[in-house]
Structure 1
Amino acid sequence: MDLRDSRGSLVRAGLVGLVVGAGVCYCVYRATSRKRTNEMGGEAILEGESIQKEHKERVGSTSWGKAQLTTPQQAPIVDVNICSRTGQRHSNHLQQAGMNFPVSADGLTTNHIQNLIYLLESVEDPLIQEQVLITLSNSAAFSVNQDIIRNLGGLSVVGSMLSVPAANVKEKALNALNNLSMNIQNQAELKRYINEICEETNSSPLNSELQLSGLRFLTNMSITNDYQYMMTSSIPCFLRLLSDGDERTQTQVLKVLVNLSANPAMTEHLLNAQAPFLLSLFDSCINKEVLLRVLMFATNLTQHMKKEESAVVSCHSEDSIFSMLWGNSTKCSQKLASLVLHHDTEVKEQAAKLITQGTSCQIK
């Protein structure tokens, strides 16, 4: 068999994985959705709590437990119709090859995953790349597959798709990396993409799906404090998105900011950041998901301020987060007092918690 035949066999084998994988992705999606809904109230996704649990076991009881931790959203379900059209072009070859792999009820087999990774390496068609990435993303909703993809060298293959010009391919690569990052061992390898994804998130069209996908990955990578230092230079970008983005973007970027604010080591970086708009978000007219997270963000910073007052630098600029929270004490106090009367119980409680911190909105 010459090189051309060998390469053709490889692509055909990969397409088997793609087509069969598309057929089981609905099962994967349904199983993941049920677990998400039943165990995590509809927002967090499969295996999210495992990272938090492992972090707690490794570092013990710290102030981390007082912060709001977030987990990523569901990767999109595969478009079976598109996969079918792609596979139809090769159906004769597949039938002649007679290649079949057993498929379990909860995902793809190792052979399928391996073929998908090989296919991703060998093709340049954005449509095929996109559908392979969707299938891998759904497969990676299961922890066992997260390990398999890593052991097969799939993390770097998926990561290489970030350099593909097509925005749809980048988006699906980010969704796959997002689910793959729900694994502590995977995170150790995926940290190499943090700077690149921060830059991509900053330069992506505002409120685009590509930008949201990048923020979801960064949310995962900021759940523990292991790699948060790599996001320090992107804090101004996050705050720009909080100021200019729509409610979906604001909610997602706040998940990152809340995670960062849970780490005392990030406190001074956040307090120094420019956010003249911050107090405008302390308003009952703001979307609840945004408002609640803004209050959590301020509460985390206040807690760290109380514990490490001696370490706080007093020369913050007028538009810094420090000045917004502690330099406008009257305005901030009035806004918090109004939020204690908010119709939503969670907002009320969070506003009251921020008020009772003692040093809230006051410069020592």
Structure 2
Amino acid sequence: MPNLLREHGCLTQLSQLLRQQVQNLSNMSHNASAVEDDPEKSKMSEKFMNLLATAINNLSSNEQNHKQFEDCVPMLVDIALEEETGESVRLSSLQALTNLSVMEHHHNHYTRIIQKLYHFLDGQSPGIRLQAAKILVNLSCNPELVPHMLAAKAPACVLELLRTGADEALVLRWTTFLANILTTVKESHLSASSLPPDDKAPSPETMYSALYGMNSIGQIKSKVFLLCRHKNENIKHQASRIYQMLNSK
């Protein structure tokens, strides 16, 4: 079915519909009085956007469709970054961005959302937190993006997500993410001077400082040492990777 839809141009039409809808929402956000006068129209636009993002998410599970969806990636990033975006639309957009980040083809569009993904991890929505973590895991497999991740302001939950009693799905993604970027730091010989200045947060606040700072490295090692005994074998494996990387730094 996905091949049939692709051959008949449905993926291109979805991209065009998404572009139109993003423009419509942008116009509405700049015309607050119009939204107040017609709240039903705003609600329908959000519902339609949700359907579009969900359709792109479903079709992007087939990696052969990723090329046709390249134009959608920056638009989905814009939607996720927009403060006015509702939670359901934001979640659908992040789900699509998760599938579209499995391969490295479109990773150049993701650098500007890294900081926001950290912000989402500090949020209250379990679904959005998990999707943010999944995207970070996918991006962390690309060594070229790791300096950007290290340069961004670290989330406040760096240690919280290493607690043995924290949500397993989040802990697994977070430990995988950390293990991946720590491995790249070692293999690529990255240091604080390797961080891109345009993306860099104040030095004490960077993800690099959160991992390698004198006040934090010991706390992280203590947390992951306990996770090395976790009942979840995958978490145990990723925690062991982190512990090994921090000890070899």
Q: TM-score, normalised by structure 1?
A: 0.55
| Residue 96 (structure 2) aligns with | 217
Contact 2:118 2:155 in 1 (8 A): no
* Structure 2 Cα separation of the partners of residues 162 and 155 of structure 1: 10
SS at match of 1:244: coil
| Residue 233 (structure 2) aligns with | 345
* Structure 1 Cα separation of the partners of residues 4 and 81 of structure 2: 30
* Structure 1 Cα separation of the partners of residues 96 and 17 of structure 2: 13
* Structure 1 Cα separation of the partners of residues 168 and 93 of structure 2: 23
Flag the structure with larger Rg.
1
* Structure 2 Cα separation of the partners of residues 344 and 268 of structure 1: 29
| Residue 204 (structure 2) aligns with | 318
Alignment of 1:187-336 (within 5 A): 187-203=66-82, 208-277=87-156, 278-309=158-189, 313=193, 317-327=203-213, 328-336=216-224
**Once the two structures are aligned, what percentage of the paired residues are identical?**
25
Contact 2:11 2:69 in 1 (8 A): no
SS at match of 2:154: coil
Contact 1:339 1:348 in 2 (8 A): yes
* Structure 2 Cα separation of the partners of residues 343 and 306 of structure 1: 28
* Structure 1 Cα separation of the partners of residues 192 and 18 of structure 2: 39
* Structure 2 Cα separation of the partners of residues 335 and 202 of structure 1: 31
Contact 1:225 1:263 in 2 (8 A): yes
Change (3 A) 1:177 1:350: same
* Structure 1 Cα separation of the partners of residues 129 and 118 of structure 2: 9
| Residue 244 (structure 2) aligns with | 356
Q: CA deviation at 1:229?
A: 1.1
Q: CA deviation at 1:159?
A: 2.3
Q: CA deviation at 1:264?
A: 0.4
Change (3 A) 1:337 1:183: closer
* Structure 1 Cα separation of the partners of residues 85 and 188 of structure 2: 36
The runs of 5 or more residues in structure 2 that have no matched partner are 25-41
Q: 1:329-353: CA deviations, max 9, x gaps?
A: 2111111112123233322222122
* Structure 1 Cα separation of the partners of residues 243 and 85 of structure 2: 34
Runs of 4+ aligned residues of structure 1 deviating over 4 Å after TM superposition are 204-207
Contact 1:161 1:169 in 2 (8 A): no
Letter in 1 for 2:233: T
Q: TM-score, normalised by structure 2?
A: 0.78
